[in-house]
Amino acid sequence: MSSGVIPFLLLRTANGKRYLPLVGRNHWTVGRGAENHFVIPDRWISRNHAMLQYTETGIFYLIDLGSRNGTFINGRRVNVPMVLTHGDRVTFGQSELHFFNPGEESQPVLGEKDTQTSVLHVRRLMSVLVVDIRNFTVLTRKIDEKILSQLIGDWFRQAGKIIRDSGSWVDKYIGDAVMSIWFHGEQAIAKDEVIQIFQAVSDLNKMTADLGNHYILPFPLRIGVGINTGYAMVGNTGTGDRPDYTAIGDTVNAAFRLESCTKQIKHDIALGQTTYNYLADLGRAQQRFTQYTVSLKGYETPTITYASSFENLDNFLLDKFLWDNKVID
């Protein structure tokens, strides 16, 4: 966020206007409970009602945390994370707020020649993680919308925490999926960074299974994972009046395709070649991952991927721990 331009929520009450500044962190919780960043004394608001998240791509997302009476943007219920734009009307319970992002509003109105996509300016080595909830479309047809909203809100909240704790952030929310990025050094990835990524994947799987057990669902809640490592461009991919800072390139595209191919090869996790090479350098990966040749959508030639189950990933992480501590040879 640029200095001097402070996004905020505006709540109008009987006592006047209340400004809730969105600064100093990358996420803010809203609810009736005292532990929230923004406490709103409305009996229709849940104790932990919703969360706003600011990503490093410059986007604000609104996430319902499984509230009883729902969260709404311009009258539309929030079932999955939704992007907030300047002037949006946000409703929690019976409380109506407005989202203001002066930086977004103050962008100059440009002529047609000035709205071309800005040039990307940074090339970085990164690992891209894509996590998708399996059979989400079927799930939306089989459970009540209110339960679905609570479930997805809980999942996104807990997934975001796991990813942040692992040194990354949620770069994109895409329906029932998240994309996260880990930036690495210019030439290589440190071993502890590799372990950090795969520990996050293991934690995401366990969290998903535990969360599914708290709801009455027609089938177990599961995820699929694609991870790809390589160079990609990072910068402004939007037009002059609507910048969108994110990563683009084949490394990112392939991560999404790898996640999709997990259904085809009937595994939980699919890795790109470079990701697997870094993992193999840690030892014993060949015992837990199987090589496949797959046809990824949009790619003319077959792609090599290395796939595994979450159980085998956990065994690999355990092997690595025991090996590092000289419990096994």
End-to-end CA distance of the chain: give it in Å, rounded. Answer: 50
Q: Does the residue 51 lie in any domain? A: yes
pLDDT at 239: 45
Please indicate, yes or no, whether residues 44 and 158 belong to a single structural domain of this protein. Answer: no
Q: How far is CA 127 from CA 265, 284, 288, 292, in A?
A: 22, 21, 20, 20
pLDDT at 110: 38
By the 8 A CB rule, do 2 and 89 touch?
no
pLDDT tens track for 112-142: 444 444 444 578 899 999 999 999 999 999 9
| Distance between CA atoms of residues 162 and 139, nearest Å | 24
pTM for this model (two decimals): 0.70
Residue type at 4 in one-letter notation: G
Contacts for 286 with CB less than 8 Å, ≥ 6 apart: 280
What CATH number corresponds to the domain at position 17? Answer: 2.60.200.20
Q: Does the residue 227 lie in any domain? A: yes
Please indicate, yes or no, whether residues 162 and 247 belong to a single structural domain of this protein. Answer: yes
Once rounded to an integer, what is the mean pLDDT over residues 172-178? 83
Domain count, the chain: 2
Q: Which domain holds residue 90?
A: 8-100
Strand, coil or helix: 183: strand
Residue 2 has pLDDT above 50, yes or no: no
Q: Does the residue 113 lie in any domain? A: no
Please indicate, yes or no, whether residues 57 and 196 belong to a single structural domain of this protein. Answer: no
Please indicate, yes or no, whether residues 163 and 230 belong to a single structural domain of this protein. Answer: yes
| Distance between CA atoms of residues 89 and 96, nearest Å | 7
By the 8 A CB rule, do 21 and 1 touch?
no
Please indicate, yes or no, whether residues 46 and 78 belong to a single structural domain of this protein. Answer: yes
Q: Does the residue 110 lie in any domain? A: no
Please indicate, yes or no, whether residues 66 and 29 belong to a single structural domain of this protein. Answer: yes
By the 8 A CB rule, do 62 and 82 touch?
yes
Please indicate, yes or no, whether residues 93 and 150 belong to a single structural domain of this protein. Answer: no
What CATH number corresponds to the domain at position 220? Answer: 3.30.70.1230
Please indicate, yes or no, whether residues 167 and 264 belong to a single structural domain of this protein. Answer: yes
Q: Does the residue 112 lie in any domain? A: no
Among 66, 100, 134, residue at a domain's last position = 100
Please indicate, yes or no, whether residues 43 and 77 belong to a single structural domain of this protein. Answer: yes
Q: How many CB atoms lie within 10 A of CB 243?
A: 18
Q: Does the residue 2 lie in any domain? A: no
Q: Does the residue 27 lie in any domain? A: yes
pLDDT tens track for 236-265: 554 444 345 567 889 999 999 999 999 999
